Amino acid sequence: MVSIQKEAQGCDGLDHTVILLSNPTYYMSNDIPYIFHQDTNFLYLCGFQEPDSILVLQSIPGKALPSHKSILFVPRRDPNRELWDGPRSGPDGAIALTGVDEAYTIEEFRHLVAKLKGESNVVWYDLRKPVHAELHSDYMQPLAEVKARSKNRIQAVRHLVQNLRLIKSPAEIERMKIAGRVTAEAFTETMFASKTPVDEAFLYAKFEFECRARGADILAYPPVVAGGNRSNTLHYVKNNQLIKDGELVLLDGGCEFSCYVSDITRTWPVNGRFTKPQAELYQAVLDIQKSCLSLCSPGMSLENIYSLMLSLIGQKLKDLGVLDSSITDSHFFKAVRKYCPHHVGHYLGMDVHDTPDISRSIPFQPGMVITIEPGIYIPEDDVSAPEKFRGIGVRIEDDVVITEDAPLVLSADCPKDIYHLEQICGRSS
């Protein structure tokens, strides 16, 4: 509500109400649900892990912001439904679990909506991207239509929550340390289990098992397990082909631990030995990544590091003979982006692509968490590249906390130097 106070300067005498909807339950078919995963903005503000709920933060008449009360509206307890789905908290349980000031059944939310239609009430809610379609159409759309005709139109709240989420507290960073350590250990075990030939599906299953066996709640996203030329497809997630002797595998994976995620990528030879061209391309990416990591300090930005990454990739590609050394400046960055079409990184937190509305150009502050993930991708049908490099794709990604001092690499325990990768992978061959 401090953020609301800053945004609402000049709106003295008005009441302010923030409304966030939980996620619904999604179904893969008929009555077979997907595992429930809460909307992260809702979860960040109240910690409630059940669907079909509404969080309200409301200013208190007669008291100045940021004074407010918190209210949860949750589904009524239904013994018949709970027989199938397990126990629900109900209003009493919601208060006990979350510490909100008040809680009511979802049906009672309509009484609050009626009060919010007045001119003296400013409502903060995200109309453009409703999280819960049914709750939106039942309650918020009718309210929005009334407010559209008033002086106090509904104000967006998403960007305010993202600004809060951008800077992690020490407690949040501790959870992300665990997620990083668990994922790093899972990578090491997956590398150790590599052999030739090996199914991508086996490495996928091994990675997920090792994450869950160490306490991860779920995988953070469907991992990329791409052997050979398939590593040049950035979001390859079929993970159903055979990786042959002499090929690299690119694994981009992460886990979720206590609502916070990791996102790591490693590339290694499944037979335990890099070929000379593979080692040359891999070492080029590793050198670039280490240079980018060294710049992760307050005052820099993802956009600054991205510009450096492109320059470094371009120079390495010239050194390797992939780009002509005489390429003109006007064509240089276009040529580089052909071989690395993605950004250097993104923000990380409760979501893999965390706080997506925050610009990558803002200066780093202590407590921000980012990824650094340069890559070079040379498809097997790229006749302009030296033949020895065709079909090789390499990406190396680490998770980094910005601090006042040196960057804290959450994934530091995950091997990435050629010697260490060959030692680990070679033990299984």
Measured between alpha carbons, how far is 75 from 132 in angstroms, rounded to an integer? 14
The amino acid that residue 108 corresponds to is: E
CB atoms within 10 A of CB 159: 13
Measured between alpha carbons, how far is 28 from 25 in angstroms, rounded to an integer? 10
The amino acid that residue 302 corresponds to is: L
Q: Taking a C-beta distance cutoff of 8 angstroms, is the pair 302, 308 a contact? A: no
Instruction: Say whether the peptide bond before residue 66 is cis (omega within 30 degrees of 0).
Output: yes
| C-alpha of 355 from chain center | 8
Measured between alpha carbons, how far is 127 from 106 in angstroms, rounded to an integer? 19
321: which residues sit within 8 A by CB, 6+ positions away? 386
The neighbouring-strand residues paired with 28 are: none
Element (H, E) at 33: strand 32-33
The neighbouring-strand residues paired with 105 are: 74
Please, is 277 exposed, middle or buried when counting C-beta atoms within 10 Å of its C-beta (0-12, 13-18, 19+)? middle
Q: Taking a C-beta distance cutoff of 8 angstroms, is the pair 167, 367 a contact? A: yes
What is each CA distance from 400 to 263, 302, 333, 373, 397, in whole angstroms? 10, 12, 26, 11, 10
The neighbouring-strand residues paired with 377 are: 393
| Residue from 346, 302, 367 nearest 166 by CA | 367
The neighbouring-strand residues paired with 219 are: 255
Q: Taking a C-beta distance cutoff of 8 angstroms, is the pair 207, 223 a contact? A: yes
Catalytic site residues?
31, 235, 252, 263, 342, 346, 353, 373, 377, 395, 397
Q: Taking a C-beta distance cutoff of 8 angstroms, is the pair 166, 46 a contact? A: no
